[in-house]
Amino acid sequence: MTILKTLDIFDYETFKKCIEDIKIPGRCELYKIKDRYIIIDAHMAKILKTLKGLKEDKKINKIKVVVGSMGYGYKNWEERLKTTEFKESRANVRKYAMNLLKDNVDFVYLTESDNAAETVLSICQELQENLGEVPSVIIEDRAEAIRQAIKESVAGDAILIAGRGNRRVSCNSESTIKLIKDSEIVEQILKEIN
Ranges under pLDDT 50 in the chain: none
Question: How much is the pLDDT for 26?
Answer: 52
What is the rounded CA–CA span in Å between residue 13 and residue 89?
50
Quick: pLDDT tens for 14-24: 766 766 665 55
Hey, how many other C-beta atoms are within 10 angstroms of the C-beta on 98? Answer: 22
What is the rounded CA–CA span in Å between residue 42 and residue 37?
16
Question: How much is the pLDDT for 188?
Answer: 94
Write the burial class of residue 42 (CB in 10 Å: 0-12 exposed, 13-18 middle, 19+ buried). middle
The residues spanned by each domain of the chain are: 25-193
Question: How much is the pLDDT for 20?
Answer: 65
CATH class of 25-193: alpha beta
Write the burial class of residue 114 (CB in 10 Å: 0-12 exposed, 13-18 middle, 19+ buried). buried
